[in-house]
Amino acid sequence: MPVIRTWQLTAGATALGAVLATLAVTLAGPWEGGQRAAERQWAAARDGGAHEGRDAKPRADAPAPAPSAPGVLTALGVRAATATADDKAGPALLARELAPLLAAPGLGSLRTASVVDLTSGRALYGSGPAVAVTPASTVKIATAVAALHALGPDHRIATTTSLAPGGRLTLVGGGDASLTSAGLGQLADRTAAALKGRKVSSVRLAYDASRYRGPVSHPIGRNGNLAPVTALMVDGGRVAAGPPPANGYAERGQDPAGDAGRAFARLLSARGIAVAGPAVAGRPPAGARPLAQVVSAPLSDLVERTLTRSDNDLAEALARQTALASGEEASFAGGERAVRKRLATLGLPLTGARFPDGSGLDRRARLSAGLLTGLLSRAAEPDRPGLRPVLTGLPIAGFTGTLSERHTGSAPGAGVIRAKTGTLTGVNALAGTVVAADGRLLGFAFLAGKTTDRDAAQKALDALAAALAS
């Protein structure tokens, strides 16, 4: 993946366009883990630190909200678009430009579209925007919004150990799909130190993945794009050690929780703690007490990683964490109910929508282009800073994630398009944000079904997004 430098961004788009892309999408300012520091402070000041999903009123001493995109653009001397009654030409001109591109043969026989002005919420273009179709990985936008709304951007997922009388040690998975071998080693360090502090040198080890319920296998079956969905896994259940490959596809073990338990036993042994017998599945017995823990990065970071890398394991974990926070069973079915519940609370159009998984690998999923731009609009609202990682996590055209090899070089969209890709056999999608030439921050969603040529479909989708930037 290329290193992003200022001169590269300038070459990829005009200097002003690159500045606008940065300011309009991130709303300016210092960032901590993908969320602007000023927005964090404002959110924390609201009614005892209430996060998205809780009703709260700003305290009297709370700092003013961060400026919305129109204010930022005006400060730059660029005209910010407004939705006035006599402003009819914009949508009409946009329709004349986009309609032929949407008719490209590469997009197959089913295509829908939605374009909105994120600074005003105004719909600028639509073609079947309410028709629910298979969205592929763009469903991760819905999963991310729901998770942030349910848990807040600062939520962390813990993996813990507990000790019961008689030397029964249990490794308890909390559902952190980002847990690495290094993280498990850190937990072993802390656990071994705590055991030695209690004069315990030998344990019987169990591992607990009971936090998640229902089937662990995705309907697609065994697949290198996704491990069995369990509450305890290390390195995404990958067989090979080390960081995951760029495209996320790798051989996966079929017992991630058991593999984690066995790896933990080896780590304890290497730290001077004898493990009697093999690690076995089981919950902490009565009388067990917490011993040590490691926690994930903040949810804001996990959301950004999910979207940038199109990480299926993290997406499924986010759906289950949303279920737990919403009083639903942490399963595929519970995740669907929880995501729908959260999006309904946000007032989004859910007619025909389905969320059978969090990743979009399930072809039964259904989203409309209008729902996708609605999700982006909610994430852009100034009074919802907790949802901002949905925008900052979108891959940057020509530079990061699944768009690193699209809109490259001097292409008009390089550096100013940020979008989530979606690809299944016969399904191609692109949904995200773009800074238009007149300074408006636009949200778009283009969904194509019954495609026969992936490359042709992607080029057609890229042409649509690039047209918004030029």
CB-based contact 187:294 (threshold 8 Å): yes
CB-based contact 329:323 (threshold 8 Å): yes
Cα dist from 421 to 138, 212, 457, whole Å: 6, 28, 12
| pLDDT value for 81 | 42
| pLDDT value for 417 | 97
| pLDDT value for 309 | 94
pTM of the model: 0.83
Neighbours of 254 (CB within 10 A): 13
CB-based contact 261:278 (threshold 8 Å): no
DSSP state of 387: G
- pLDDT, tens digit only, all 470 positions of the chain: 333 333 333 333 333 344 344 444 443 333 334 433 443 443 344 333 333 333 333 334 434 444 343 333 333 333 444 444 334 347 888 999 999 999 999 999 999 999 999 988 899 999 999 999 999 999 999 999 999 999 999 999 999 999 999 999 999 999 999 999 999 999 999 999 999 999 999 999 999 999 999 999 998 888 889 999 999 999 999 998 766 665 678 899 999 999 999 999 999 999 999 999 999 999 999 999 999 999 999 999 999 999 999 999 999 999 999 999 999 999 999 999 999 999 999 999 999 999 999 999 999 999 999 999 999 999 999 999 999 999 999 999 999 999 999 998 888 899 999 999 999 999 999 999 999 988 899 999 999 999 999 999 999 999 999 999 98
Extract the tokens encoding 129. Answer: 């925007």
Beta-strand relationship, 132-133 and 35-36: unpaired
pLDDT in tens, 273-291: 999 999 999 999 999 999 9
Task: Please give the positions annotated as active site.
Answer: 137, 140, 310
Termini Cα distance of the chain = 26
Q: Report angle CA 81, 82, 85 to the nearest 5 degrees.
A: 135
